[in-house]
Amino acid sequence: MGQRLLMKGNEAIAEAAIRAGCFHYFGYPITPQTEIAHYMAKKLPKVGGVFLQAESEIAAVNMVYGAGSTGIRVMTSSSSPGISLKQEGLSYMAGSQVPAVVVNIVRAGPGLGGIQPAQCDYFQACKGGGHGDYRQIVLAPSSVQELYELTVEAFNLADRYRIVVMILGDGILGQMMEVVEFRDKEEIADIEKPWAVTGHGGKRKQNVITSIHLDPAVLEKMNQNLQDKYRLITENECRYELYNSEDAEVFIVAYGTVARIAKSIIEMAKNEGLKVGLIRPITLWPFPQEAFDKVKDRAKAFLTVEMSSGQMIEDVRLAVNGTGPVYFHGRMGGMVPNKFDILAQIKEIYSRHINS
Amino acid sequence: MAIIFQKPKALKDTSMHYCPGCTHGIAHRLVAEAMDELNIEGDTIGIASVGCSYNSYDYFGCDMIQCPHGRAPAVATGVKRSNPDKIVFTYQGDGDLAAIGTAEIIHAAARGENITVIFINNTIYGMTSGQMAPTTLLNQFSTTTPYGRQADLHGFPIKVCEMLATLEGAAYIERVSLHDVKHIRKAKEAVKKAFKVQQQKKGFSLVELLSTCPTNWGLNPVEALNRIRDEMIPNYPLGVFRGESLEV
């Protein structure tokens, strides 16, 4: 058994990154994720790494672009308004295929919004927050343990596919403390990076990291290559959890913090004789279609619960593809969905589609 | 027969796309000669910016990164902090460095990032066809100051060397000109010194090269060179603004 530590979610992310071989962090302060920077500022100099507080989120993400271009593991983190500023760099990294891990501990918006938890950045994270036809892998942990495990995984995925991987958390996950059990040693994917700009040393041809191709035929080909890569990721890397799904008739679809609330509702529903299951996407992009295919024969209805006005629900509808009704329950502005409200909605759905 | 003059090794064989009379070709050559003479091309990572020199990686033979508008000093910081023994330079124009990239250049200098910045000041946006730059002189015509730059409407030109020289993190700051052979030779020494400052880990170095843009100035190549001498140098005085006594 590995080391067990009581940690804040944000600290677990930082510790996981270091254990995954990320010794370079560039960031800018913003609540509710700044503990990641605090942890990195303390730890990285002791392991020969670099913590640098940039002059802005824009500068931070471009430092990540530069460092990632040299083939090292590198990370930045922020929260919603800061992630908006980082979109320029994310688009460039997508275009020039520079791997990096970006953490978004989401707070409520729009604008400066508030500092309470939200899931209102799903569209930005999953549908391409910056300009151009691109994707990034989006991982949605729902516990501090999973923040650790998925952060390690994020670095392996980033290197394997030369892609940006975003950890999409929320203010609750970042701030809460739970016990984390660390592995003694991380499995770090050993991936060669012949594309990295490290100085050719007179031994190989020049390497260039670029996203500009003024010849449209060349740029279209580059886009096609990106899309091929995205298809490969969709085939290989979908992750999800099915909970209490064996005989469930109504499925809650939820990720992150909200998925934890859903699990407690499922227990309450059991006591009332309602068969409720959970589909918890762990990769938000690629969206786990397979989870929906597995339950479509028995699912009578779906209820998507989000801390937003309804963003993931668009992907849920596409995944369900008309095989059943899809309902929505959401709270905004930093308010967290209430389990009694959700249970009441499940009862309504039951009476409409199952007990009618 | 002995070869007495040739293309620097650090420049590739590609034909350049720059306009006739543009001094980018000279500036590229000076950087490449410095790389050759210091024997650093294989250890160098160049950062291309946004502007006419966006594809300078087609001309320089070293490893390079093309980066977003104005962000070259941040990208260079990321490269250098993770590869402190490599040589890292940015090549930026005045719109890139002194408008959209103002924060990045100031903070890279303030941190004393051990990088070299080659700053091309031609008082105009070249690639997007002649708009006002932060360095556009008062009364200068551009496509966005069609009646001339007026202080009350458009503010004053930014003097980058003078501004950065106030920062303790800056080790070496010099402004040179490319308008004639004598000045080009001086510019060559400045560029080489800037790379040596970095090699010796002395901190941030920047060389501003007063340059032409005949196409967008509406001048022929000779008139454009004369404009540097007659109009630019009186407003952008040449000299070392920081690190004069720095021995390299």
Question: Using one digit for the tens of pLDDT, what is the confidence trace for B145-167?
Answer: 999 999 999 999 999 999 999 99
Strands (E), chain B: 44-48, 63-66, 87-93, 116-121, 170-177, 204-210, 239-242
Plot region of A279 (φ>0 → left; ψ -120 to 50 → alpha; else → beta):
beta
Q: Are residues A83 and A100 in the same domain?
A: yes
Say yes or no for a CB contact (<8 Å) between B66 and A52. Answer: no
Helix (H) or strand (E) holding A327: strand A326-330
Element (H, E) at B37: helix B24-38
Residues of A in contact with B71 (CB under 8 A): 58-59, 62, 65, 88-89
Cis, peptide link before residue A32, omega less than 30° from 0: yes
pLDDT at residue A189, as a whole number: 87
Chain A, nearest residue to B58 by Cα: A208
Report the alpha-carbon distance of residue A189 to residue A204 in Å, rounded. Answer: 24
Record the tokens describing residue B22, joined without a space.
């543009």
- The C-alpha of A78 sits at a distance from chain B's nearest C-alpha, in angstroms, of 17
* A152 and A21 together in one domain: yes
Assigned token pair, A345: 């909605």
Whether A217 and A347 share a structural domain:
no
Q: Which residues of B touch A70 (CB under 8 A)?
A: 45, 78-79, 82-83
Interface test with A, best of B49, B52, B79, B104 (most A CBs within 10 A): B79
Which residues, including other chains, have CB under 8 Å from residue B84's CB and lie 6 or more apart?
A: B114
Same domain, A250 and A230: no
B86 interaction partners in chain A (CB closer than 8 Å): 198-199
What pLDDT, on the 0 to 100 scale, is given for residue A1?
63
Q: What predicted TM-score, i.e. pTM, was given to this entire model?
A: 0.97
Q: CB–CB of A199 and B65 under 8 A? A: no
> What token pair was written down for B72?
């070259």
A242 in reach of chain B (CB within 8 A): no
> What's chain A's average pLDDT?
97
Q: Which domain holds residue B109?
A: 24-242
Residue B43 gets which letter from DSSP? G
What 3-state DSSP class applies to A336?
coil
Phi, psi angles (nearest 5°) of residue B127: -65, -35
Residue ending a domain, among A236, A258, A282, is A236
Closest CA in chain B for residue A22: B82
CATH code of the domain in which A139 resides: 3.40.50.970
Mean pLDDT of chain B: 97
Contact A59 B86 (CB under 8 A): no
Compute the C-alpha angle A261/A267/A271, nearest 5°: 140
Give the pLDDT band of residue A355 (cuts 50, 70, 90).
Answer: confident
Residue B192 lies in a domain: yes
3-class DSSP assignment, residue A23 = coil
Q: How many domains are contained in chain A?
A: 2
Q: Is the CB of B71 less than 8 angstroms away from the CB of A56? A: no
Out of A219, A236, A253, pick the residue that ends a domain.
A236
SS3 state at B66: strand
Residue carrying structure tokens 């529903």: A269
Write out pLDDT tens, residues A25-74.
999 999 999 999 999 999 999 999 999 999 999 999 999 999 999 999 99
A279-310: buried (b, 16+ CB within 10 Å) or exposed (e) per residue? bbbbbbbbbbbebbeebeeebbbbbbbbbbeb
Asked if A213 contacts A201 with a C-beta cutoff of 8 angstroms, the reply is no
Residue B12, class by beta-carbon neighbours within 10 Å (0-12 exposed, 13-18 middle, 19+ buried)? middle
Q: A206-265 pLDDT, tens per residue?
A: 999 999 999 999 999 999 999 999 999 999 999 999 999 999 999 999 999 999 999 999
Which of B65, B78, B87 is opposite residue A26, by nearest beta carbon?
B78
The distance of B140 to chain A (nearest Cα, Å) reads 31
Both A175 and A77 in a single domain? yes
- Structural domain contains residue B175: yes
Angle at B86 between CA B57 and CA A53, to 5 degrees: 95
pLDDT at position A179, please? 97
Report the CATH number that the domain containing residue B221 is assigned in CATH.
3.40.50.970
Token pair of B106 as six digits: 């100031």
Nearest-CA distance B139 → chain A (Å): 33
The whole-number pLDDT of residue A327 equals: 98
Residue A24 phi/psi, 5-degree rounding, is: -130, 125
Q: Say yes or no: A24 contacts chain B, CB-CB below 8 A.
A: yes
Do A275 and A230 share a structural domain? no
Q: Is residue B98's pLDDT more than 70? A: yes
What number is the average pLDDT over the span A141-159?
98
Q: Are residues A283 and A192 in the same domain?
A: no
Q: How far is CA B232 from CA A132, A143, A230, B227, in A?
A: 40, 61, 51, 7
Residues A204 and A329 in one domain: no
State the total domains in chain B: 1
Rg (CA), chain A: 21
Residue A116: C-alpha distances to residues A28, A78, A80, A120, A331 (Å): 19, 14, 11, 11, 12
Task: Give me the mean pLDDT over the A345-355 stretch.
Answer: 94
B66 pLDDT higher than 90: yes
A211 pairs with which residues across the strands?
none
A101 lies in the same domain as A211 = yes
Which residue in this structure is represented by tokens 């859903």? A262
Do A59 and A129 belong together in one domain? yes
Query: Which of A236, A267, A297 is the endpoint of a domain?
Result: A236
| Confidence label for A2 from pLDDT (cuts 50, 70 and 90) | confident
Nearest to B52 by CA among B8, B91, B83: B91
Sheet holding A164-170, edge to edge: A50-53, A24-27, A74-78, A100-106, A164-170, A137-139, A283-285
A73-83 per-position pLDDT tens digit: 999 999 999 99
Contact with chain A for residue B82, Cβ under 8 A: yes
Contact B60, A173 (CB under 8 A): no
CA distances from A48 to A63, A281, B202 (A): 18, 36, 21
Q: Is residue B19 part of a domain?
A: no
Pairing state between β A137-139 and A74-78: unpaired
* Closest partner CB to A67 (pick from B68, B79, B103): B79
Would the CB atoms of B65 and A52 count as touching at under 8 Å? no
Give A-chain residues touching B66 at CB under 8 angstroms.
96, 208-212
Residue A154 sits in which domain range?
4-236
Q: Are residues A246 and A232 in the same domain?
A: no
Asked if pLDDT for residue B106 goes beyond 80, the answer is: yes
Q: With contacts defined as CB-CB under 8 Å, which chain A residues touch B82?
A: 24, 50, 66-67, 70, 72, 74
* pLDDT tens digits for range A296-313: 999 999 999 999 999 999
In a domain, B17, yes or no: no
